Structure 1
Amino acid sequence: NVICSFVPQQIGEFKVKQVIEIIGPVADENLRSLSMKPFHYINLEFNSICKAYTKKVGVKINPGISPLISNPTRQFVIKDTENQEDLPPVAAMLRSTRTKLHHHQTDDVSEEDALIAFPNDRAASIRTIFTKMPRHDYTDPDYEYTDLEKLEKKMHRDYYADYIRNLRNARLQKEEQRSFTFRINNIPGGHILVMAVILPVKLELSCNEIVLRPQTFLLKTCFRGTVRLYNHLNRPAQFEWKPVRALKGIAFMIRPAKGIVDPYCSLECEVTWQPGVSSPEKGEFILQVSGGNTLTLKCTAHVGHTRVTFLEPRILFSNSSQGLTTWRKAILHNIGQNHAYFKVCDESLLPTINIVPSEGVIPFGGITILNISCTPTVAEKFDTRAKNVFNFSGTYVGNTEVVPFVIKNRGVTRAKVEFNLKDFPLFAMDFKGNAGEFKNTEVPYMYAIEVEESTSVECGIAFSPVE
C-alpha cells in the first residue's frame, strides 16, 4: 500500500500531478540483455483545498479601567489573549488606502506605534476611498507579518511561480511514451518502450519559385502552372494563400486559396496569370499554415517573343470636314509564335486623333482591328506631328549655335516633314544642302524637306540671339 499525505502551507486550491514509474526488466537495444528500467508510467492527480480557520474569541464589557491589552476604544477586551498560543498568522483588516485599484505600488514595511481601526470605532473616524479623503492606517504588531513570515511568503510565491513555469516548459517540450509487452514462444519477454517527439504541423512546397509559360492557344488559360503541397506528418494541416500586393496590382491567382492537407498526403494548387500589357510579370504568395510554418512562393510569367505588323501601313483620311468626326480602321496582324499584347502610346498622337481600343491582345496568328477617329479643328494638312526638345545653353549675342539632329523615315513610302517657326523668329532650320529641301520665299518661317522611305537625313536647328 502507498500512503500519500498532504501538508498545506498556505490557503487556496491545489492540483498536482504525480508520475509513478513502474520499474522492471527491459530489453536493451541489441536485444541481448535485460536491465532494470522504467517501462510504464502512472499519473496520479491530487486535488485539495485549504480553507482559513477562524477561532471565535469571546469579549467582555470593560466598565472601568482599561487593561493593557484592549482595542483603541477601550470598551472590549479579548479573553485569554495573553495566554493564547495558537494565534492566527495574519488578520484581515480594512486597508483601503493600500488597494491596488487606486495605487500601483505596495509597501510591506509596517508603521511603528500604529493602531487598529476596529469596526466599533466611530464612523466619522473612518475615511474610505469613496470619500476621496485620506485615513489613518493602523497595523497591530500581534497580527503583523514578521520578517520570517515575509520571507516564507516570498519563498512560496517563487516556488509556485517556478512550478508553473516548469510545467509550461514540460508541456511545450514533452515527449509521448508508451510501453508494450511482448512474448517469445508464449513466454513473456519484457517490455518495449516507444517514444515519439511531438512536432508542430508543417507543409512543404514542391518548389519555391514557379515560371509560367504559354501552354495552350486559349488566352485565359495559356499561362498556368502547378505547385504541390506535401504533409509528411500524421496530423491534418490547414493552410491559406495570401498574395503580396505590388504597385502595379495583382495578376497572379492560385487555387485553392485555402484548404486542408490530410496526413501523409499532398495537394496540387494551380497558379494562373492574367495576361495583359499592364499586368505585372512577377508576383508572390505567402503560404500560412495554421499553427505551423510560413512559406513564400515566387511567380514569374514569360510572355515570349512575337511579331506584329499592320496590314496597311498608312491610313488616309482624305478630305475630312472641319468639326466633324471621320472614322478609319487599322488591322494588326500577329505573325509571331506567341500571343501579343499591345498598348497605344497617347504621347505621340495628335489631340484630334483617337484610337480604340487603346490596349488589348492579338491572338497567335490572329488579327485585331483598331478604330481610329479624326476630328479636325483647323484647316490643315498633316501626316503626324513630332515633339522634341532642343536645349541651347551658353549662346552669345551675335553668334549662332546649331543643334544637330537626324530625321528617320521608318515607313515604306516617302514622307514630307514641315517645320513651322512662325512664333520663333530667332530660330532657323539647317538642312545642310540635302536634295529634298523645299524653299518658299513667300513664307520664310516655313521649312520643309522630303525623306525617302527607310532613309535618314541629317539636319540642324540654328539659334541666333540678338539681345
Structure 2
Amino acid sequence: MAERCRDVCGVRIAPAELRFSAVPGSRYRAALTVQNLRAGACHLRLLPPHQPQFKLIVENPEKPIASGLQVKAVVEYTPKCAEDLQDKLTLLIDDDVVHIPVLGLIPYCDLEIESEVNFGEMIANNKLVTKEISISNRGTISGVFRILYDGVVLLNIKPARGVVKPKSVRKIKVDICTDVPGVIKEMMKVELESRGCTEVWIKGVVVEQFLKVLGVNCGKVLKCINFGPLYFGTSKTEQIHLYNEGPECVDWVAVLEDSAIGGEIATDLHGSTDAVLHDLSVKTKDVDVSNVILCVPNQGTLQPYEKSLITLCFSLQKLERDFEVNDASLVQDYVLFLRFETVGKRGDCLQDLSGPATTRSDSLHVDLALTGSGFPVILTFKPGTVLNFEDCYLGEQTQVVCTMKNESKFLPLMFRFCKTAHFSVSPARGKLKKNSEKEVVISFSPHQIGTFEMKQIIDIVGMGVDKSNVAVLKTKPFHQIYLTLLGVCKCKQTSVVFTINPGLTPLISNATGQFVVRSTGQLSDTAPVAILKSTQTQIHTHRKNRNCEDNALIAFPNDRAASLRPSEWNKKYRFPRSFFFLPCRQFCVYNNPVSIGIKSAEGLKSPNISITEFSMEKPQPKMLSLDDNGVLTSRKLEAIVSKSTNKGVWSWLSPMPSSAQEKRDCSLTLTNKQLHQIFIGPSTIDFGEVCVYSTTTKELHIINNLSVHIWIQIEIEVAELQETSPLSQVVPPLTKTHIPVVFETTTVGMFKNSFNYKINNQHIGHVLVIAHAMPIELHLSKRELILNPIPGCLAGTEFRRTVRICNPRNRPVGFTWRPLTGDRKSAFTVKPTRGMLCKYSVFMYIYLGFVEAYSDVECEVVWHPGFNTPETAQLTLCVRKGNSIHLKCFAKVIIHVTALEKKNVWISLSK
C-alpha cells in the first residue's frame, strides 16, 4: 500500500491512495487520515466508494475542524474474486471536492535487477574482489529469482537462487578472482518471476601492477646507472624516481642482489682471465655490498600512480689483501643489481618447501643495474718521498722543489699539505688534473737548533658521504700520503770568556761565589754559567749520581737558562733535570688504542682459565637487527633463510602470546624490511583435480627469520576450508612451521577463493586456493568382453576373462556389479580381487569392492554354461555416489563334431 501523502486544497491526505491485494476470501483494512492545514477551521466530510467490496468506516464531524486537527477513517476491502478493481473515495472540503483513489489489485511480484556490475580497474594479485548487486521487489508478494552463468571467467555468485520478499531488497555477492590480466566482459542470465529472463553484464579490467624506475630529469625508464670511476674512500650519489604504475597502493622494499648471475664484486674487469684467477688474495666473499651501495629510503609505501624520490650512493673502500701488492693493480669494478620488490612476495624462498611459485604476483619487482669502479690514489714525487735539505743556520732558509704527478688516467686529484713545524709549502693546496703534474716549493725555516726528521702529511680531498644525510655529500680528506723531510739547523759558535773570582763575592754572583763573568754590569752575548766538576767536590753529592760514567760534569741546577748548553764543547755534561721528562715520553710512545699507555709485560700476568669456565652453549646465529638501516641483500636473506629452514619443523606452537616477552614481540608494528623476512606461502595453493566428498591437505609454510616472536592469525570464511587448523600460532624467532590447509567440497566445478591472514594482528596478507572438483567416477578398461574357453579349466568355469577398473581420483571409491536380468539368476558372475560377496536377491549375489585412490583393480568375469543359459549379458558397474558403466559380455561357444557324427547326420538327412 502506498505510504505517500498528498496536500490539496489546504488539507493533507495520508496515504495519497489506497491499494489492496485481490485475494478472494480475505479481508483487508487500511487507515486514512485527513488533516486541516488551513489557517482557519473548515468542514471535512468523507463519502464511501461505489463498489460494494469497499466499505468506509468514519465519523464525519458536524462542526468545522480547527486548524491542525484531523479526521481518521478506516477502509475495508473484501474481494469476491481475483480481479483488478478500481474505485475512489470522495472528500468534501467546504465547497471543494477531492477524490482519493482506492485500488484492489491481484497480488503480484515486481522484481528488478541492475543491468550491469562494473568492477572497474583491478590488480592481478590473486585476490578475490567482491561486488554487490541488488534485486528489489516492488510487488505485493514474494518473488523467486535464479542466476545462470556459464562464462569463461570464474564468478562466485551467492546466492544463485532465492526469494525476495515484497517491498524489500536482496543483495547478491559476485566474486571475481584477479589472477589473470585481461578485460572482463561476461554476461549472466537472471530469471525473475513474472518478468522473465534478464541479462546482467559483468565488466572490469584486470591489469598488472608495475614498479618502474624513472630518471629524475628525463622521466624515462632507467635500466642502468653508471657511477663511473671513483677513488677509494670517496662517494657519488644519483637520484631516481620509483613509480607505482597501478591503481592500488603497494609496500616495497629494496634488495641488493649480490649473488645474481652477471654480478661482479671488486673484480678488475680490465685485467686478463689468468690475472683474475691468479689474484686470490682479494676477499670478495667478505665484502658487504650494503656498505658499497646505499639506498635512502630503502623501504616505503607508494600510493596509486605515485612517485617516490630515492637517493643512491656509491661508496668504495679499499679491500684488504693477504700480502703486499702494487697499489696500481688494486682496481675494483662493481656490477650489481638493485631490486625493488613488493613486500612479502618471496616465492623463490619457499621453492624448496612447496615447489616453484606459479603466481604472477611473485614477479612484481623491478631491477636496476648499478656499475662503478674504484681506483687507488697514485701520486708520485720527484725527486722522491724523502727530501734532504741543506744545512742552515738559525734564522736562515733553504728550499727544495718537488714535482707531484697524478698517475690516474681517469680522475683528477685535490691535495692539501698539512702544517709542519719548521717547514712550509707553496702552494699548500691545489688540484691535479688526470695524468698531469705540478711543482711545489718546500722551504726549511728552522726555529731552533738541531737535526730534524719531520713527516709531512698530504691530505687527498674528495666527496664523502654523510651517514645522517646521504643526499648531501661533504668535502673531506679520504686518503693521506707522507713525505719525509730531513734538515739540520746549526748555530754560529762564540767563545764565552770566564774569570775566576779571587775570593771577593761580587754584586752579581752565583750560589758558590765562584766563576763570575767579566763585565757583569753590561749586557753581553755571553751568559753567566756556574759549573762544577763533580769529580773534585762533594757539594752536590747524591747517591744516584755516584756512578757517573766518563767523569761527566753536572750542570749547576740554579742556572737553568745556561745549564742546558755546555760552556766547553770538548767536555761531557749530564743534565739531571731531563730525567724528569722520561715518563712523559714513555707514555706518549705507548699511548694508542692497543697499549692504552701501558708498557707490554710491565708487571701484568695472564689469568689462569679453566676449561670448565667456558660456556657450553651453542653460539646464537647472527640475525639482522630490527633497527638495521642498511639495505637488504640477497646473501643476507639466503643466510637467515638457511638458518631457519635447517631447523626442525615446529608443529605444535602456542595459539596466543602467553609470556611477557611474547606479548611485547607480538605487539610490535613491523617495518617493510622486517615483513620481507617473514615468508608465508605459497601465495597460491593449487589442489589440482580433487574428488568431491574427499579430503585433501596441503601445507601453508611459515618461516620467521626475525629475532622476535610473531603472531599469525588465519581468517577463513568459506565452507570448503573450514577444516583447516590451527588458525592461530605464535612462531618463535628463526623458526619454521606449517599449517595444514584442508579442502573439502560437495560441489562439482572450479573452485577459486582466498583467505586472509594477519601478522601481529596488524599486517594483512592473503592466500589464493584453487581446486578443480571432479565427480566420483571409475573407468573400465573395456566396454565389451568376449569370453573364450580356456583349456585346462574345470567344466563350467572355463569361460573367464578379466577387466580392469581404474580410479583416477584422490578418493577411495566403492563399487558393485549388478546384472540386468531382473529376478533371473545371471549366468555371468564378477569377482573383484578385493571386496565382499553380498546377497542381492534370492537368486543372485553381487560383489561389493573398493578401489583405492589413483589405483586400479582387476575383476574376473566368469560365464557358467548350462541348459538354456543365455550366452550374452549386460553387467552394470555401479559406483557409489558416482557414475554407472555398462559392460557387455559375450560367451563364444564352439561345438566340436567328429567324422562319424557327421556321417550319421548325413545318412539321416538323406533318408
What TM-score do the two structures reach when normalised by structure 2?
Answer: 0.19
Greater strand fraction, Structure 1 or Structure 2: 2
Higher relative contact order (CA 8 A, sep 6+): 1
